[in-house]
Structure 1
């Protein structure tokens, strides 16, 4: 018995020594964020590339991809996470900015067909409320595997005209393997590059008994990605043809914030000044992205676009052309008028077109996110191919 106790004590001491020597995940790493999210939320982790490529999905936060990594648990955590709000377990009044690099929303946000303003209210922050169905309510988990998770949600939304939309949302998040990334982007991934790629496949079904009408309002799918800001992050928005840039969302953009060339709109994604811009159908190219020079990380967003021109307009005012909205949006967070701030973060956003859906018809939107980190020249080759931008010029 004494011998057994000595052996047991020795094993316990060894275990404690191992635990004490084990490093806790560092803040800013994927492992840190995953541990944090597991503490407060039900999580679904998708994995590829022998565990180096990972992402975490939260069903209770509308199936959003909170964050991802290209280098396992110790790798960079790409998505912005609002630790304080999540840990509080409380809900805010107007919007719950939990974070996440692929979150599901529905447009339009502003205008006479908005689902964020009630009938007869003003276009002010005090009267602006995010519908609970895309803010605080959970999505149902339908199925999951190591590389994919499917979710759904039935909703009843009301717009500023009083139109009721009975809809069903279906959303599937999938992580890509190396060959799928190479095929989709037309590139070759070298050994000196870490990577992660995934997509959200989103559908909205008209579950009402009547067709939707432009005269009473339409809806669209809107995917927003919130990322970590820095002084050396540049948002890169390629465009084609004569630019019709929309800068009217939150007033005039401060002078010196944008750099516009004949092929790109760029700004520093540092989260210190609040503005938003949009690019309409006639100007869009297949990709948008950003580059963090400090972390040597290139982010690419690819999205479904088939040349449609009917996009909801989300500007906060009554509109002459409510279906002349943007395909691409990008937002830089900054202080509100009262000094409060949502983030800081910056956003890369894409939207689906809209249509007058018959009962049981659907609109869909695919939003793909890729992160690459490593050798600068390799990253630059990807940037030149997909964003048509030489990173040496930043």
Structure 2
């Protein structure tokens, strides 16, 4: 049955979508600069483009042709990956922003499959500033400043950065941010997904281990402020893309979904919410800890690709940031969010539109010397409908054909 799903006013995400947009509408595939390329370029060409503007570290799998690229100067993010070097480029890239080499005042939305930043939004406003779009700014440490490589080995890179961040309440937070970025071996993917992944399915997967260490003199709590880790992946959108959100019916019976959710068309099959990511306008979906699971899926019928994002999700009740201004109670926040930019959003002339998936650590009390830890994994599986249906049926309770019949 077609129902309506929650459309959340994600202030931060909407700003990400708008602040880098060109002033006039142009077709996605128009090339306007010598170096600019469009979103249809394969991984190899896209990474050659990235390499013109920043140092790029490529990791290769020893058990398959899978590859990924990390950009330390761009906050140590996994900028993209592919099942093989000449294969499709899985990370969405803002080609025009990258080629322009000029910083944007509020946020530099370069794209990438796995980047870290901080929540809640109280870290994006100077002390006592008005909470509105005009005064919102991404902390430079998470936007324009480089991370340092501390280790590079076979299939793994670690980066870190010491930060001094100012909270809206005037409190300074001293944080050592650490990231361990790993290319998951093809042979190990079945262990993470807890099911067989036939060799006929081409695959690439990666993990980020993200740590905030409290290096300051104050305890992080409800009085001083409580940072959370946010990890976001951005991916190219398409004409036939479906979001798959499994949920726990014991915590949120299907009969009650309509009371909680509204405004975005959705379908429910086998305790999975299906949303067609299409149309001109943005779509925003939030997944509460209470009834969500620790993974989300996206199926792209055109490229026969299934993307699965896993993340740390505690089953004990914890507090998560919400996405509303002014700042409100954080207990009703989300463990993960999904944002579809919409076809009207020419965030970059040559980059096409995109969707993003973000996961969050809970807001926790952390003593001096203590730390927050959050894992975020991304799996890309490419295969026929029959091959991928074995995966979707077990994880989401639906076959690929059933996904295509939704919405």
TM-score normalised to the size of structure 2?
0.82
Q: Give the SS at the match of 1:184.
A: helix
Q: Give the SS at the match of 1:273.
A: coil
Matched with 1:136 is: 144
Matched with 2:230 is: 222
1:142-153 matches, within 5 Å, as 142-153=150-161
Matched with 2:23 is: none
Q: Is the Cα contact below 8 Å between 1:235 and 1:289 reproduced in 2?
A: yes
Per-residue deviation, 1:319:
4.4
Q: Is the Cα contact below 8 Å between 1:300 and 1:371 reproduced in 2?
A: yes
- From 373, 376, 392, the equivalent of 2:385 is 376
- From 44, 64, 68, the equivalent of 2:57 is 44
- Closer, same or farther in 2 for the Cα pair 1:73/1:179, shift >3 Å? closer
Taking the aligned partners of 2:308 and 2:81, their CA distance within structure 1 comes to: 13
Q: Is the Cα contact below 8 Å between 1:310 and 1:325 reproduced in 2?
A: no
Query: Based on CA coordinates, which of the two structures has the bigger radius of gyration?
Result: 1
Q: Give the SS at the match of 2:162.
A: strand
Indicate the RMSD between aligned Cα atoms, in angstroms: 2.6
Taking the aligned partners of 1:364 and 1:246, their CA distance within structure 2 comes to: 34
Matched with 1:236 is: 244
Q: Is the Cα contact below 8 Å between 2:156 and 2:180 reproduced in 1?
A: yes
Matched with 2:340 is: 332
Matched with 2:170 is: 162
Matched with 1:34 is: 47
- From 260, 263, 270, the equivalent of 2:271 is 263
Q: Give the SS at the match of 1:281.
A: coil
Q: Which runs of 5+ in 1 are unaligned?
A: 1-23
Taking the aligned partners of 1:256 and 1:352, their CA distance within structure 2 comes to: 26
> Does 1:390 pair with 2:399?
yes
Q: Which runs of 5+ in 2 are unaligned?
A: 1-36
> Does 1:301 pair with 2:314?
no
Q: Is the Cα contact below 8 Å between 2:127 and 2:166 reproduced in 1?
A: no
Taking the aligned partners of 1:355 and 1:57, their CA distance within structure 2 comes to: 29
Q: Is the Cα contact below 8 Å between 1:331 and 1:348 reproduced in 2?
A: yes
**Higher relative CO (CA 8 A, sep ≥ 6), structure 1 or 2?**
2
Matched with 1:15 is: none
- Closer, same or farther in 2 for the Cα pair 1:68/1:43, shift >3 Å? same
TM-score normalised to the size of structure 1?
0.85
Taking the aligned partners of 1:357 and 1:206, their CA distance within structure 2 comes to: 7
Matched with 2:9 is: none
Equivalent pairs, count:
360
